[in-house]
Structure 1
Amino acid sequence: MMLKRYRISNQSIRIAFLLFVFIGIFSKFLQANVLGQFYDGERILNDIIYDIKFTDRSYNVTEAFFGIFVKTFKIADIKIWAWLIGIIGGVAVLRWVKNYVKYIFTLDNFILFMLSFSLLEIYLFNVSKEIIQILFMIPTYSVLFDSRISDRKKLFSITTMMLFITLFFRRYYAIMFVIFCLMWMLFFCKAKKHRLKFAIPFLIILWIGLWSVKQLVPSIYYEVIGIRAMTNASYETVANTIIVDVITGTGPIEFLLNWSINTLRLLFPVELFAKGVFQCITGIYLILIDCIMVKEFIKCTKSSNSNLSILLCLMFSFIICSALFEPDFGSYVRHETMFYPAVQMILIKMKEKNPKGDVSI
């Protein structure tokens, strides 16, 4: 199918951005008055007000950041903060997207952007750990999106970002970093023609490593194996899209099989269609995005589009890492919103590769 490049009138841009503003307002209203979900926001505000500290460094960093504004402006209402952050975040996204408006104005990208913008307002733009995390990631995004910067510098930027977040915010980024490095070596480094020679021994070593840890240090092994059961225990009464392992058992093979199956479930969450209207829409969005990424990933393994390859490795390393411990699909979508800039840039770079035809609107 021929993709088209659009010459866009100023009137069309104004109408589209008014539509985006309406979607943002509607999504925030939906969150505050229908869904009534603010996730960790209420807990964070309460901890700030009553000066409660926890051992979880991500909560402590988030509470220290928002505590400055809560104490300065004397606002302790979660809904007011949700609207304020939603307005600031929405304006920032629309200003950024304006630079790529010609790519947004294709039907597929337009629909996906509207869905993405709605999810950002519902999940990301709140008093949350995610908003802090994306602030850490913005410098890395600015490097990744600059085509003038070499691959080596981009990889260094991602390494620095992941290690920084691991040390000061969320430890699971260490796992994500390892997965990112393995994916890059397997599919996109100069020796990718030998990836099967590398992949098979790696899987064998991984299995032997898990088996050895089980025999030598069983407490650590069962802590890793039981990470999903542990996180699910605190979510099973509040989440209706909880992710439960399909295969029972605590052996290395069962663990790796469940990890693989859960990765596929996150990539293609068809089970959400039976959970309700909102979950159904979310499921359609995830499947559309993930199908595009899988398709582009396969293409990139056969070409030399390194800019797109790095973004795709970043996204898939997050998805594979999430399959290890995310307790439910809602948490997964909320965390994935931090990678919205990467998703949008993947879609934009796809259009840049196919600038055929001109249409005036």
Structure 2
Amino acid sequence: MKVKKRLLLLITIAILAIIVGSFNTTILPDKYFNDANLIANDPYNEKGLVGSYSFSMWFYDVLGLNKIPFPLVSLIQLIIIFVIIKRLGIPKNFGKLTLRNSVVWVSLLLFSVYLSMPSKEFINFIYISLICGVLISSRIKLRKKVIFVCLLLLFFSFWFRPYYLLVPFLGIGLYFLSRLEFKSRTVSNIFWGIMIACFFSFSYGFIKGEFMSESSREKLNKRRMGREDSQTMIVSPVETDTAIGEGVGIFYGFFSVNLPLNGLKFFYKPQVVAFVIWQSLMFILLVYFYSKCMRNRQKYRQEEWLFHFVFAYLITQGVFEPDLGSAIKHKLGVFPIIYLAFYFDQNMISEYKKRYKYVLKDKVENH
């Protein structure tokens, strides 16, 4: 049986990722394993069924993955990740050397660094894959897909990651914004989407006394000041304790995690420069594909909602993301939906197809 070139390439990337992942404990600095060690060891007995850290500790404990060496954990998780990617579909042009494919190939290899150990992002990846399963299904009508995805995201926000609560509301907001006539619909959609996030933060601040980024990212980063892992922190250029300051902080955060040119100040750190290039190319391509999708909305009705949810997440990440390093992990945690967005024009998302049940009756002829 002849193996298709695109499948062979995916298998090759998977093997390379597994090889790199198996040597992580010997080549990566200890700081890369801070979360992994905390999740695996659970030093304060915090495991439980609700909350990202608590559930991750419970998950790895129940499956016994916290009792085996990290290289073996890497093997298991990377196999699962690449099987999921295969199940989502391999586009026909996957084997060609293009800018789009190059960004995806690098992303797949990055799993060997960031998702090859006990991590919250691995669980995040699996859950987002379930959402993608809903989006690509041909058994569910578009309206029901949107409802199911919103409900899954809301559940995820209450169960695992609270900041996902913003994503369905922003996604719906971006959909209605896309119905308005703007000169540059894509850029306008993103701008007003960020403004909606600012409005949510202002409302939260009015009720709680602290704005969203002020009470999360800024507060966390102030505690991290001076630590070894604080160099790539995302810190607003102005104080975020006023509405204007919070608005500036959210816009600054959005561009820091999606078009992180400010990271070039770390030109002496090759890994940061590589991140800036990878993340900038990913964002620019996503904006380009979003624009292309919006210009052909009748053809890409299913895919349009996919992009609304992707950019809703990118905007949400701009509100809460504390660090350039964590931004990579969190992007990989939602990579299945980014993967579908990158190949939106490759027929990976199916239209609803009504299924009929036929009852066959034998006709008996009497002679």
Q: TM-score, normalised by structure 2?
A: 0.78
**CA-CA distance at 1:96 after TM superposition:** 3.0
Q: Which residue of 1 aligns with 2:214?
A: 225
Matched, 1:106 2:99: no
Contact 2:5 2:95 in 1 (8 A): no
Q: CA 1:314–1:203 in 2, change beyond 3 Å: closer, same or farther?
A: closer
Q: CA 1:212–1:96 in 2, change beyond 3 Å: closer, same or farther?
A: closer
**CA-CA distance at 1:268 after TM superposition:** 1.0
Matched, 1:250 2:241: yes
**CA-CA distance at 1:323 after TM superposition:** 1.1
SS of structure 1 residue aligned to 2:241:
coil
Q: CA 1:30–1:211 in 2, change beyond 3 Å: closer, same or farther?
A: same
Q: Which residue of 2 aligns with 1:89?
A: 81
**CA-CA distance at 1:161 after TM superposition:** 1.0
Unaligned runs of 5+ in 1: 1-8, 354-361
Q: CA 1:30–1:93 in 2, change beyond 3 Å: closer, same or farther?
A: farther
Q: Which residue of 2 aligns with 1:289?
A: 282
Alpha-carbon RMSD: 3.4
Q: Which amino acid aligns with 1:334?
A: K
How far apart, CA to CA, are the structure 2 residues paired with 1:213 and 1:341?
Answer: 33
337, 347, 350: which one aligns with 1:342: 337
Kindly provide the CA deviation profile for residues 50-85 of structure 1, in whole angstroms up to 9, marking residues without a partner as x: 734589722121111111122xx7825334323332
Q: Which residue of 2 aligns with 1:358?
A: none
Contact 2:163 2:320 in 1 (8 A): no
Unaligned runs of 5+ in 2: 349-367
How far apart, CA to CA, are the structure 2 residues paired with 1:114 and 1:69?
Answer: 30
Alignment of 1:137-156 (within 5 A): 137-146=128-137, 149-156=140-147
How far apart, CA to CA, are the structure 1 residues paired with 2:327 and 2:204?
Answer: 31
Matched, 1:80 2:75: no
Contact 1:147 1:307 in 2 (8 A): no
How far apart, CA to CA, are the structure 2 residues paired with 1:203 and 1:20?
Answer: 39
Kindly provide the CA deviation profile for residues 24-43 of structure 1, in whole angstroms up to 9, marking residues without a partner as x: 13431463322232341100
Contact 1:103 1:348 in 2 (8 A): no
**CA-CA distance at 1:283 after TM superposition:** 1.8
Contact 2:77 2:115 in 1 (8 A): no
Alignment of 1:1-361 (within 5 A): 10=3, 12-13=5-6, 16-17=9-10, 19-29=12-22, 31-36=24-29, 37-47=32-42, 51-53=45-47, 57-70=51-64, 75-90=67-82, 92-93=83-84, 95-96=86-87, 99-108=89-98, 109-146=100-137, 149-187=140-178, 191-193=179-181, 210=202, 214=206, 220-221=209-210, 225-236=214-225, 237=227, 238-275=229-266, 276-304=269-297, 305-351=300-346
How far apart, CA to CA, are the structure 2 residues paired with 1:173 and 1:30?
Answer: 33
Q: Indicate the percent of aligned positions where both proteins have the same amino acid.
A: 19
Q: Which has the higher contact order (CA 8 A, sep 6+)?
A: 1
